[in-house]
Amino acid sequence: YSKERGRDQARFYSRAMGEAVALRLELERDLRGALAAGEFELHYQPKIRSSDGKVAGFEALLRWNRGGRGLVSPAHFIALAEQLGLLVQIGMWVVEEACRQMAAWRAQGLPQLPVAVNLSPSQLASPALVEQVAQAMARHGIAADGLEMEVTESMMMEDPEQAIAILHTLRRQGVKLSIDDFGTGYSSMAYLKRLPVDTLKLDRQFVTYVASDTRDADICAGMIALAHKLGLSVVAEGVETEEQRAALAARECDLFQGYFFSRPLPADQATSFIRDRS
């Protein structure tokens, strides 16, 4: 009896594994074709100025409309795209699309707000990035300080010297740089010293309890004070409540981002947001 049961179980597991492998291959195949199929879009999450509550810019976040079946979130495909070597090309599409959108806002006579794009490790290992970014900006007539880029500390691990050199070149071209998810990496302070950044983005894990846990509040206050000493501005990520906003404002956080103000918005809704809030 138990031998038979074991055989059934083995059959069950191998079928389940077979299905998982098939799903994964299907995902890979779809992802490889997604760029050519025009299935990517950008959503734009506002960054709100603490001083006057107005929109100061946006972060562009990638969405994949997989085969018209609805939007897939980056958590489900960014890592795979990177593994498959697709993220350099997809990342250039993101830069191009963000520049195109900024030009569209300008053409509609709206205030010129900077848009930040997220970089991937492979992009920071690609010397062609600098030239391609410059070309995209020129093609759409984007001013030097119109485009921002967000990098994480963990992106520096592969080849830090190369990555830092690329970031310096981008910065010299006028691109603004932020350290994303600040405080969650391995050697934040070392990179703070060496990276030519303008902004720190306080990771959501510190923001979540800023109004309820004095340790988190002290950590936020300390990181904000340090950033200001270094001449950097601070964006708090993942602000979801008025209490969090107030606690961060009391600690002189410069900018807020989070569901309390707005979710990432499709381009047309971001356009309305600019009209209403700038």
Within 162-191, the residues that bind Mg ion by CB under 5 A are 180-181
Q: Is 179 in the site for ligand C2E (CB under 6 A)?
A: no
Cβ 26 vs Cβ 42: under 8 Å: no
Q: Judged by CB under 6 A, which of 48, 86, 94, 163 binds ligand C2E?
A: 94
Cα–Cα distance between 156 and 206 in angstroms, integer?
22
Contact code string over 194-213 relative to ligand C2E, x by CB under 6 A? --------------------
In this structure, the number of other CB atoms found within 10 A of the CB of residue 211 comes to: 17
**Encoded amino acid at 153, one letter:** E
CB-wise, 48 or 232, nearer to ligand C2E?
Answer: 48
DSSP state of 98: H
In angstroms, the Cα distances linking 190 to 102, 183, 185, 216 are: 34, 12, 11, 22
CB-wise, 73 or 214, nearer to Mg ion?
Answer: 73
Q: Judged by CB under 6 A, which of 259, 266, 269, 272 binds ligand C2E?
A: 259
Q: Judged by CB under 6 A, which of 35, 78, 110, 265 binds ligand C2E?
A: 78
Report, in angstroms and rounded to the nearest whole number, the Rg of the chain calculated over CA atoms. 21
How big is the site for ligand C2E, counted in residues (CB under 6 A)?
A: 25
First vs last C-alpha separation in the chain: 72
CB-wise, 30 or 198, nearer to Mg ion?
Answer: 198
Q: Is 153 in the site for Mg ion (CB under 5 A)?
A: no
Least distance between ligand C2E and beta carbon 245 (Å): 11
Least distance between ligand C2E and beta carbon 67 (Å): 19
Least distance between ligand C2E and beta carbon 16 (Å): 28
User: To the nearest 5 percent, what fractions of the chain are helix, strand and coil?
Assistant: 55, 20, 30
How big is the site for Mg ion, counted in residues (CB under 5 A)?
A: 5
CB-wise, 27 or 265, nearer to Mg ion?
Answer: 265
In angstroms, the Cα distances linking 64 to 46, 127, 192 are: 20, 27, 33
Q: Which of 64-72, 99-107, 220-228, 258-266 is the region at the interface with ligand C2E (rule: CB under 6 A)?
A: 258-266
H helices present in the chain, as ranges = 2-34, 78-83, 87-107, 128-139, 160-172, 188-194, 204-207, 214-229, 242-250, 267-277
Name the residues that contact ligand C2E, by CB under 6 A. Answer: 45, 61-62, 73-75, 78, 87, 91, 94, 117-120, 150, 180-181, 237-240, 257-259, 264
